[in-house]
Amino acid sequence: MIKFHPNDQLIEKYAAGSLCTATSVAVATHVDMCSRCQQQVKDAEEIMARRVLQDIRTPRSANLEAMFEQIIESRPPKELKQEQVDPFISLEGKKFRLPSTLARQKHRIGHWSWVPGKMMKAHVDIGEQETLDLIYMAENSKVPEHTHRGQEITLVLNGVFNDEKNEYRDGDFVLLDKKHTHTPETQHEDCLTLASLDAPLYFTSGIARLLNPFSNLFFK
């Protein structure tokens, strides 16, 4: 069961198409995995559509109302509009199924490389000056304690990781900023996540602080 979701403001901005590309992809991928947020997006879209109709200065007739209801009810499911793509990626001898939004971006996934902490990273090229990465955390891996110079979004695609406060599983959407400090780690299970950062991490304890001048090479 998904415990962590985008907040209402993010859902509304996503429905309105006003999020930056990296955040929009992260939210859309979560929505693919979450029936609750699918309904929230649908509700937000319908509210915005009604507001548009209310702004029309001509009288609202019964025919206009009927036309609106027909448009809403007849919209085909998003999956029917999508081309068939292979949703699987292979990594470390395992196959991971990507949610449909991310699977459609599979051709944009770059080369996998190892980063400190028994982790691998692959950049997702979204054609913007934004960072969107797939992060694979092997069993018993750990990111040193850090805070965030900007905003960090982490979406769990498969597996589980935890920090000092919570445990995060498939579909969980985690939004953190400079007010948060944490130490993500895996234990007896690996974890594949989608991550977006708008600034490098800032390590806050131990020898890891020596990595701060170079953190953008690994985690941004």
121-159 pLDDT, tens digit per residue, is: 999 998 877 789 999 999 999 887 767 677 889 999 999
Phi, psi dihedrals of residue 119, rounded to the nearest 5°? -130, 160
For 154, other C-beta atoms within 10 Å of its C-beta total: 21
Contact between 179 and 197 under an 8 Å Cβ cutoff? The reply is: no
Tens digit of each residue's pLDDT (9 = 90 or more) over 33-71: 999 999 999 999 999 888 877 766 455 555 555 554 555
With 0.75 as the threshold, say if the pTM is over it: yes
CATH number of 8-81: 1.10.10
211 versus 184: the higher-pLDDT residue is 184
Domain boundaries, the chain: 8-81, 88-219
Lowest mean pLDDT, pick from 1-5, 11-15, 122-126, 211-215: 211-215
Q: Return the beta strands (E) in 54-166 as ranges.
A: 88-91, 94-97, 113-115, 119-123, 131-137, 146-148, 152-159, 161-162
88-219 sits in which CATH class?
mainly beta
